Amino acid sequence: MIKKIKLTDTQIIAISFLIIILLGTFLLMTPVANNNGQWLAWEDALFTATSSTCVTGLVIADTGTQFSLYGQIVIITLIQIGGLGFITFMTLFSIFIKRKISLSERKLIMQSTGTLQIGGTVKLVRRIALGTLLFEGCGALILAIRFSFDYPWGKAIYYGIFHSVSAFCNAGFDVFGKGTSLAPYTTDPTVMLTICALIFIGGLGFLVWSDMVETNFCATHFRLHTKLALFTSVFLVVGGTVFFLLTESRHAFSHLHFGEKVIASLFQAITPRTAGFAAIDLNTLKESSYLVT
């Protein structure tokens, strides 16, 4: 008889991500996903699907020019699933259809979110969903209003949603085309600061949010993990901002006004950590800035 294969929680999570990546690969390969109406090479589709699901931000082809609206929606869906985690995503679906979450599923949630106790896992997932919706929604609204000055309202709303999700999930994908990333908005404080805030908040992680909410944002009651995450994040951002401001003010940022230099330095300190957006041509940075980046 064939023995029943029993997978560990870690293996289930890994396999679920593999399935999502393979499905995304197939969808991105199809002609309808590409602006040229042709099949995309499987290796390019696989790379893009993997980068999207793992919120890496690396691209082979420019997202805005290579992929159609359908293809871009596939990519942002993969980013959202990867940012939330497939197990979290499926748990939300189970909650939506009012299906009871089993003990084994709660263990999977605990494993995928990194929480140390099985109690309150479903509550944590709800909190993750609400937090994600709140932050991405606010970011999308602000960006959509700003983009409406440059694009028709339909495109502005779409761009706002796409870049809000991409920033919050620390993915770094953009659909502006021509490989410019956020360079056209280097001097725009609304876009730059909104993207910075989304990257920073999203990068803190679900457990940090949950702890801050549970303690009513009282710093003295934060868990050690939360204190370390906040201190390290703020230290790296402030330190990086000061470094880039001092190093690149007369170099890569020489064409900017002082306030714009500060914002560009802040952006450059935040985005290299995980996000992958670019507001300037990275080839113009000094070697010391490459090292810090």
12-24 pLDDT, tens per residue? 778 888 999 999 9
Q: Is residue 3 part of a domain?
A: no
Q: Is residue 235 part of a domain?
A: yes
Residue 103: its pLDDT value, please?
A: 61
Looking at per-residue pLDDT, the higher value among 143 and 96 belongs to: 143
| pLDDT tens digits, one per residue of 159-192 | 999 999 999 999 889 998 776 788 889 999 999 9
pLDDT class of 267 with cuts at 50, 70, 90: very high
- Contact between 147 and 159 under an 8 Å Cβ cutoff? The reply is yes
pTM of the model: 0.87
Q: Is residue 186 part of a domain?
A: yes
Q: Is residue 166 part of a domain?
A: no
Per-residue pLDDT for 2 more than 60?
no
Write out the residue range of the structural domain in which residue 191 sits. Answer: 180-293
Residue 51: its pLDDT value, please?
A: 92
DSSP class per residue in 39-50 = PPPHHHHHHHHH
Q: Is residue 246 part of a domain?
A: yes
Tell me the average pLDDT across 61-67. Answer: 90
3 state DSSP class of 110:
helix
Q: Is residue 25 part of a domain?
A: no
For the chain, state the CA radius of gyration: 20
Look at the block and give the residue holding tokens 């028709």: 152
Residue 111: its pLDDT value, please?
A: 61
CA distance 165 to 162: 5
Per-residue pLDDT for 120 more than 80?
no
Tell me the average pLDDT across 247-267. Answer: 90
Q: Is residue 265 part of a domain?
A: yes
- Among 5-14, 42-51, 77-86, the minimum mean pLDDT is found in 5-14
Q: Is residue 215 part of a domain?
A: yes
Average pLDDT value for the chain: 85
Nearest CA to 106 out of 18, 115, 97, 98 is that of 115
3 state DSSP class of 111:
helix
Query: In the structure, how many helices (H) and strands (E) does the chain have?
Result: 13, 0
Give me the number of domains the chain comprises. 1
